[in-house]
Structure 1
Amino acid sequence: MNETSAFEEFAKKAHFIRRRNLLPVWIKIFVWFFMIGGTISALFLGIGPFVREFKTSIYGIKATHIYTLYGLMTSCLIIYKGIVAYGLWFEQKWAPQAAIIDAVIGITVCIIMMILPFILPDNNFFTLRLELIPLYFYLVKMREIKQTWENL
């Protein structure tokens, strides 16, 4: 008779790999920053009319109030990063694809914000966006682990 107990099945399942373990430590740290930042940004969208000044910036886009064009852009970017961070931390299947989109958006916005001063007549200075460095490595890492993440 070949019977398997529930304990044997549990022992076999105990050797599974968590998706979260595929992430390097630096991404895990940023995940927490952006989950907190996304939550705060979403809260400030709700209480924005009662707040006199709310300074925020990401990728070179700076805003002093939440209900301006730049304020809504920064809030949307930070909230999206928070959603991606949530997906990565709680091991959602869609998270690596969303992270790749997040990295591409971040790189694109950084490049636009580097080129924009040359187009606008008031600004004639060049700003090197150092966010491009971690964004590049983030994009590379997410592309590396995407297949493994989705198959687990």
Structure 2
Amino acid sequence: MNQELESQFDQFDKPEIIRRQLLPWWIKTFCWIFMIMGVVGFATIPFSFFTSNVNLSIYGFSSNTALSGIGIFIIAIITFKAYVGYSLWFEKENAISLAKIDAILGVVICIASMFILPFINDVNGHFSLRLELALLIPYYLKINKIEYEWDNLESI
């Protein structure tokens, strides 16, 4: 009985290992940015009933109305990014998988906006280089690098 009590109290002597410490400062910053953007983006839906002009934009897609197809698409992207930021910040089990999906989806959407939107929007063949790719690729590489440690740490 005494030994059982000692083993249960041994866990309090161990230093806390926090998965969040595996994330670099710039990913932590973007977690907060996207969590805030998610709340604001989601709030634009009821706000759009009172005004017809709500400017939304991400990855080259933009809309002036939240209740249009593109507007809902943008809000869905922002909401997903907010959920990924939340999952990373609060050290959820599936955070790394979600972050990888987020990065790959972001790259695909950026490429689509660079190569498909110019033909749909008839902007005279102007090519737009999406600078978001400069962050999405290192983001994926960093997430991929910390995946093993993240999965093998116990969260608090």
Q: What TM-score, normalized by structure 2, do the two folds share?
A: 0.88
1:130 aligns with 2:131: yes
- Contact conserved, 1:27 with 1:138, CA < 8 A, in 2? yes
Alpha-carbon shift at residue 24 of structure 1 (Å): 0.2
Q: Residue 72 of structure 2 aligns to which amino acid in structure 1?
A: L
Runs of 5+ unmatched residues, structure 2: none
1:72 aligns with 2:80: no
Q: Partner of 1:39 in structure 2?
A: 39
Q: Partner of 1:10 in structure 2?
A: 12
Task: Give per-residue Cα distances to partners, 1:121-149, cap 9 Å, x unaligned.
Answer: 72210100000010001111111112221
SS at match of 1:11: coil
Distance 1:45 1:120, change over 3 A: closer
C-alpha distance in structure 1 between counterparts of 2:121 and 2:19, whole Å: 48
Runs of 5+ unmatched residues, structure 1: none
Q: Residue 133 of structure 1 aligns to which amino acid in structure 2?
A: A
Distance 1:41 1:9, change over 3 A: same
Q: Residue 11 of structure 2 aligns to which amino acid in structure 1?
A: E
Q: What TM-score, normalized by structure 1, do the two folds share?
A: 0.90
Identity %: 38
Distance 1:121 1:102, change over 3 A: closer
After superposition, the CA RMSD in angstroms is 1.9
1:27 aligns with 2:31: no
Alpha-carbon shift at residue 46 of structure 1 (Å): 2.9
C-alpha distance in structure 1 between counterparts of 2:140 and 2:122, whole Å: 33
Q: Partner of 2:145 in structure 1?
A: 144
Alpha-carbon shift at residue 117 of structure 1 (Å): 4.5
Aligned length: 150
Q: Residue 12 of structure 2 aligns to which amino acid in structure 1?
A: F
User: 110-119 or 51-60, which moves further after superposition?
Assistant: 110-119
User: 31-40 or 140-149, which moves further after superposition?
Assistant: 140-149
Alpha-carbon shift at residue 26 of structure 1 (Å): 0.3
